[in-house]
Amino acid sequence: MRQRTRPGVLPGSAESLGVPRAEIARRVAECLGLVGLAGFERREPATLSGGEKQRLAIASVLAMRPSLILLDEPTTDLDPVGKGEVHAILRRLAADGLAVAVIEHETEELLDLDRILHLDAGAVRRDGPPRRLLLEVAELAAAGVEPPVAARASRWLGLAEVVREERFADEVAARGVQVERTGVRPRLATRGEAPVIEVDHLVHRYPLRDQPAVDDVSLAIRPGEFVALLGANGSGKTTLAKHLNGLLPPTSGAVRVAGHDAKKAGTAQLARHVGYVFQDPDHQIFSATVWEEMAFGPRNLGVGEDQLESRILAALEVVGLTEERDRDPFVLTKGQRQRLAVASVLATAPEILVLDEPTTGLDYNDRERMLALLADLHRRGHTVLVITHAMEVVASHCERALVMAGGKLVFDGGIPELFANDEVLARARLRAPTAWRLGRMLGLETLTPEELGAALRGGGGGNGA
Amino acid sequence: MKLFLYLDRESVVHRLHPVTKLVALPVLFGVAMRLERLETLALLALVVVVVAALGRALDAVAGMASLLLTLLIATTLMWWLFAPQGGLLRDGFQPAALARSAGLGLRLALMVASGIVFLATTRVEDFAHGLRTLGLPYRVAFALTLAFRLVPTFVASGRAVAEAQRARGLDLDHGGLVTRMRRYTPLVVPMFLTSIRRADRLAAALETRGFGSGEKRTDLVEHRFGGRDALAAVLLVGLVAASLWGGELASQPAVQAALGSARAWLEALYAKAASRP
């Protein structure tokens, strides 16, 4: 009779290779089990979350029974726990005898692999076990690869290879390093000014969905704050953010931005106050030159040609693209296009900036440039709200975290308070950054690698790095 | 957003062989085209409703009620107003012309409704399998599956582009037609380019998964014709016969007589019921 197991896309690959039918059904079940998607056979792929889709893609390749599986930045878009899940699957597959090769520029998850090939300018520059190779912190940074925090900490301790996280406290004690407790970190400053963003009992329901995407969220953001909006894939953070410039109307509740009711004012009007930078710059870039792309927003808002030039030049200067003004945006690198997207929004001179995953898919150098840019804008007085999965970014730049889980706001407070709150972290599928986790083993509250380094070296130990 | 009509349920109609459904759909269209009178089309509507109920797809049809009603009313109005014979504007009000127009509106709505029932009870994979069984090359059937699969992706990226440009102050609601057309450039260019990039990646992804490897493909979807398909075929033939010769049959003296006595019986029954206190 009818085949009962008929998943949407999974059998595709094995079908193409002419694998017998009964065998395919068996493989489908087995491969879905391997990636933790057992029981998902009949789901529409479009309804899966980001992490689930990535795992499905891995399963669909596994169904062909390859002896080598190649992955190109498989965890870029995933929340911290999702990243960990994918890497755990890959480790299990390697343990079962499959060769796994991952192309990656984030090094934090790579420490437990068997071998790393470091490519530079088209040639293999280094080849070796991760815990040894990644210890060469200075060389990596010079080549534009971010060294993992654990590697830098191991350097400070003078270790011969990158320390295993669970062994960190022992190594510190074994080396007799005195840990210097940094003074009490300044807590979140409460500002006196009136909020520039007020969200009052906001509910948003998408049509035909049972659960509201945003469920009774209230919050206030004051001028000049640097806020992180965090949460798992599908937790409602982007939906919430899209209310701040009127892209989505509230189902109920109210949103006030810079004195306007967001629903009444409409997106075109709010664009004067809120600049919204989307995740994929290619969704907005359409002009033949960088200059024209920059002029689009200000012209929409009725900025006169006399002011246009100075605005565009100022914005290009901020993102470091002045030289590229007459070039075609499509020949720019991903990092440059990302900065162009920010600049084209800056040209509209908004006091509030909302950025959706501004560092996703950027390599180390581009990411550092983007972060320096955001810090600079914050210093100039812009209110900045960043949606991100990158916890190091949150730790080093943000003053405050808003955490969403299942459409609800489950945390609103300072960054150290968030990292110390295991319950919220687990609920929102977040993970404190390495610098915090390592510091915590020593009884510290270190947010950044620099703070961790200062605590270790300040105590008189370590050889520096 | 739910973009597909398919309802993952168990029903007789779901279990029919896709080929049966693929044949039934155009046959139903043909029958609808052949019928002209409002009464007979209403009978066909009853058939479609029964099939929808058997397929547990009534809610899918109801969900599209606004579309169906718009079709029905708009078509009826257009025919009634502008028909070359008996149209309101040419020949003035004629009740028969109105009934005829309503019949034509109903015909169109019925065809769309049966299409909805088909999509609500047939997986895209089964649809493609049915087409292959009918002799369509795999690549063509696959392109159809792919088109369905990509709809939500394209809708999502189209929406993302529109949002990105609206966030930069693009106003699509005001201004004259020409200005508004010109304002679509910032939407069309990124959508076009992201689509091309996606197609490129998709081609690579298909190849890595062995598409066109030259091996003889296994088709995971498997269907056998069963008793219910035979029954469906008999009913279809009956339907076609009724649409072709139903009118003649009804005009035979014997049938007329039978219909007449049935009618008299019903009328008597009605009179009896009405006279009861």
Give the pLDDT confidence score for residue A5 in this predicted structure. 35
Is the Cβ of A286 closer than 8 Å to some Cβ of chain B? Answer: yes
Decide if A16 and B211 are in contact by the 8 Å CB cutoff. yes
Pick the most confident of A214-223, B144-153, B240-249: A214-223
pLDDT for A85 equals 87
Judge whether B139 is closer than 8 Å to chain A, CB to CB.
no
CA-wise closest residue to A338 among A284, A267, A387: A284
Distance CA B18, CA A431 (A): 49
End-to-end CA distance of chain A: 68
If one counts every other C-beta atom within 10 angstroms of the C-beta of residue A423, the result is 9
The pLDDT value recorded for residue A464 is: 43
In the three-class reduction of DSSP (H, G, I as helix; E, B as strand; rest coil), residue B265 is classed as helix
CA distances from B255 to B240, B248, B258 (A): 19, 10, 5
Across the interface, whether the CB atoms of A12 and B212 are under 8 A apart is answered no
B169–A297: do the CB atoms touch at under 8 Å?
A: yes
CA distance A410 to chain B (A): 26
A275 and chain B: CB distance < 8 Å anywhere? yes
Candidate from A338-342, A413-417, B95-99 with smallest mean pLDDT:
B95-99
Backbone angles phi, psi at B249, to 5 degrees: -60, -45
Name residues whose C-beta falls within 8 Å of residue B109's C-beta, 6 or more positions apart in sequence.
Answer: B68, B69, B71, B72, B75
Tell me, yes or no, whether A223 and A78 share the same domain.
no
Residue of B nearest to A300 (CA): B169
Please indicate, yes or no, if residue A80 is contained in any of the structural domains. Answer: yes
**Phi/psi zone of residue A31: left (φ > 0), alpha (ψ -120 to 50 degrees), beta?**
alpha
Tokens of A151: 């590697």
Residue recorded with tokens 């006196």: A192
- Residue B222 is classified by DSSP as -
For residues A87 and A51, the answer to whether their CB atoms sit within 8 Å is no
Q: Could you list the residue range(s) of the whole structural domain that residue A3 is in?
A: 1-104
Q: What is the 3-class SS of A308-361, one letter each residue?
A: HHHHHHHHHHHHCCHHHCCCCHHHCCHHHHHHHHHHHHHCCCCCEEEEECCCCC
Note whether A96 and A208 are same-domain residues. no
Contacts of residue B7 in chain A, CB cutoff 8 Å? Answer: none
Tens-digit pLDDT profile for residues B7-40: 888 899 999 999 999 999 999 999 999 888 888 8
**Average pLDDT score, chain A:** 87
Helix H, strand E, coil C: the string for B225-253 is: CCHHHHHHHHHHHHHHHHHHHHHHHHHCH
Q: What is the CATH number of the domain that holds A447?
A: 3.40.50.300
**Per-residue pLDDT at A200:** 96
Please state the domain count of chain A.
Answer: 2
Cβ–Cβ under 8 Å, residues B144 and B124: yes
CA distance A36 to chain B (A): 21
Same domain for A65 and A211, yes or no, is no
User: What distances in angstroms separate CA A102 from CA A31, A118, A148, A390, B44, one per listed residue?
Assistant: 19, 12, 16, 20, 60
Give the domain-ending residue among A104, A129, A163: A104
- pLDDT tens per residue across span A246-277: 999 999 999 999 999 998 998 988 999 999 99
Q: In the 8-state DSSP scheme, what is residue A167?
A: G
> Is residue A113's pLDDT more than 50?
yes
- What is the distance, to the nearest Å, from the Cα of residue A405 to the centroid of all Cα atoms in its chain? 16
Domain stops at, among A75, A104, A133: A104
Pair of tokens at residue A34? 């391997």
Q: Is the pLDDT of residue A186 over 70?
A: no
**End-to-end CA gap in chain B:** 55
Q: Tell me the two tokens of residue A167.
A: 């062994």
CB A206 within 8 A of CB B3: no
Going by C-alpha positions, the residue among A376, A418, A380 that lies closest to residue A397 is A376
Question: What is the rounded distance in angstroms from the CA atom of residue A429 to the CA atom of residue A174?
Answer: 34
Residue A461: pLDDT band (50, 70, 90) is: very low
**Closest residue to A17, CB basis, from B4, B123, B210:** B210
Q: Residue A119 falls within a domain, yes or no?
A: no
* Residue with more model confidence, B218 or A67: A67
* Helices A334-346, A290-300: crossing angle, 10 deg rounding: 30
Closest CA to A32 of A2, A6, A69: A6
Domain closes at, from A104, A128, A150: A104
Domain boundaries, chain B: 12-128+226-252, 153-208
CA geometry: angle A254, A257, A258, nearest 5 deg: 145
Kindly determine whether residue B194 and residue A208, on different chains, have CB atoms separated by under 8 Å. no
Confidence of residue B277 (pLDDT cuts 50, 70, 90): low
Distance from CA of B53 to the nearest CA of A (A): 22
Distance CA B167, CA A274 (A): 8
Nearest C-alpha of chain B: how many angstroms from A297? Answer: 5
Question: CB B213 to CB A42 under 8 A?
Answer: no
3-state secondary structure A87-128: HHHHHHHHHCCCEEEEECCCCHHHCCCCCEEEEECCEEEEEE
List the 1-60 stretch of B: residues with Cβ below 8 A of A.
1-4, 8, 15
Given a cut of 90, is residue A4 above it in pLDDT?
Answer: no
Choose, out of A283, A311, A328, the residue to mutate when testing the contact with B (most B CBs < 10 Å): A283
- Look up residue B44 and give its two tokens: 């066909």
Yes or no, beta carbons of A276 and B186 under 8 Å apart: no
State how far the Cα of A336 lies from the Cα of B275, in Å rounded to an integer: 88
HSE value, Cβ hemisphere, 13 Å, CA-based, for A344: 34
Residues from chain A that touch B1, judged by Cβ atoms under 8 A, are 206-208
pLDDT of res. A51: 78
Nearest residue in chain A measured CA to CA from B173: A268
Asked whether B111 and B46 are in contact (CB, 8 A), the reply is no
pLDDT band at B262 (very low <50, low <70, confident <90, very high): confident
A36 domain-assigned: yes
pLDDT band for position A462 (50/70/90)?
A: very low
Residues 6+ away with beta carbon under 8 Å from B49? B58
Count, residues in chain B? 277
Confidence of residue A6 (pLDDT cuts 50, 70, 90): very low
Domain match, A201 and A341 both: yes
Q: Which residues of A46-66 are buried (b: 16+ CB within 10 A; e: fewer)?
A: bebebbbbbbbbbbbbbbbee
Indicate if ipTM > 0.85.
no
